[in-house]
Structure 1
């Protein structure tokens, strides 16, 4: 709710907001829930493609927010721009289902 408040009330000038999910993770390949795995080779390729897309947009003062999960940080690092980690963006713990298959 703090992020929504920030986006809606702090900035009053028009701007674009891009939302993106992290690249494919090693656990995504195994059909497993949660965990904190790194990116798969395909996930790293996605991150490189995303970086090229962002460069092509020529965005001034780009602000990148990411969770504290490895896969999101690896995706953000591929962009080559500063990023900020926000714990509130971490996924909800799956409890006893963590790392189980779907």
Structure 2
């Protein structure tokens, strides 16, 4: 797939950058599929997909990898300050 914005697409799929979250049990009708090698970059898909449908879906998701965000750092154009939660206390308030 060549380069996008001067960066090799393979750089997006580094196993070193792959999320390491523990996979949780899914409700009936859903299962995990993986976009990367060695069970990396999990996505949740419908369990009723045929092997051909699943492969077609995974190909499309891989094509648009940059649109998916596995962490806040992956989401382009999202300011970390937007995701910072702050509690503003009134001047007379006392902390517990």
After TM superposition, is the score higher than 0.5?
A: no
TM-score normalized by the length of structure 1: 0.26
Which structure has more RCO (C-alpha within 8 Å, separation ≥ 6)? 1
Structure exhibiting the larger radius of gyration computed from Cα positions = 2
Structure with the higher fraction of residues in helix conformation: 1
Structure with the higher fraction of residues in strand conformation: 2
